[in-house]
């Protein structure tokens, strides 16, 4: 009986902890420019991408921060699986070409992971690779 009670309490605690952890909301490409916030990030990733997997703990840390009282003004993060994008043919200058984009058909992602800063439904900045993305998240958090 005591073991049953312990297991039950552990399961309840685990459910509570999982429920309290914040994650980036997965969105469809058609939702990239339709989020309610004026400024937010869109993170592009792919399953089994080692660079994406290496970045995930830092991204999760930022997401927790952005949902905290201290980070309440920090841009939220939404994520898109790059394989769901309608346009996968990126040119050599894709990073420069998507600055100013206001619709999903104008976006091609040539490297993952990639983080876009969206302001007022327009791509303002592009951060490519783990180091650049980490530097941007650190900047926002004041690290």
104 inside domain: yes
35 inside domain: yes
pLDDT tens series, the chain, 143 aa: 666 556 655 555 444 444 445 778 999 999 999 999 999 999 999 999 999 999 999 999 999 999 999 999 999 999 999 999 988 788 889 999 999 999 999 999 999 999 999 999 999 999 999 999 999 999 999 98
**What domain range is 81 assigned to?**
23-141
CA proximity to 41, closest of 81, 18, 74, 67: 74
Using alpha carbons, list the distances in angstroms from residue 99 to 12, 67, 120, 124, 130. 46, 27, 13, 6, 20
Bridge partners, residue 43, by sequence: 79, 115
Neighbours of 28 (CB within 10 A): 12
The pTM score is 0.83
The number of distinct structural domains making up the chain is 1
Query: Which CATH number covers residue 40?
Result: 3.40.30.10
What span, in angstroms and rounded, lies between the C-alpha atoms of 65 and 124?
A: 22
CA-based end-to-end distance of the chain: 49
Q: Look at the alpha carbons of 58, 103, 99, 142 in this order and tell me if their dihedral is positive or negative.
A: negative
């Amino acid at each position: 009986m005591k073991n049953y009670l312990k297991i039950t309490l552990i399961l309840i605690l685990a459910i509570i902890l999982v429920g309290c952890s914040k994650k980036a909301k997965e969105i469809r490409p058609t939702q990239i420019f339709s989020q309610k916030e004026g400024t937010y990030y869109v993170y592009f990733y792919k399953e089994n991408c080692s660079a994406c997997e290496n970045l995930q703990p830092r991204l999760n840390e930022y997401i927790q921060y952005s949902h905290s009282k201290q980070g309440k003004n920090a841009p939220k993060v939404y994520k898109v699986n790059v394989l769901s994008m309608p346009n996968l043919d990126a040119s050599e200058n894709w990073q420069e070409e998507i600055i100013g984009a206001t619709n999903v058909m104008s976006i091609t992602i040539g490297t993952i992971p990639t983080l876009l800063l969206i302001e007022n439904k327009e791509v303002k900045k592009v951060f490519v690779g783990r180091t650049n993305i980490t530097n941007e998240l650190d900047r926002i958090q004041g690290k």
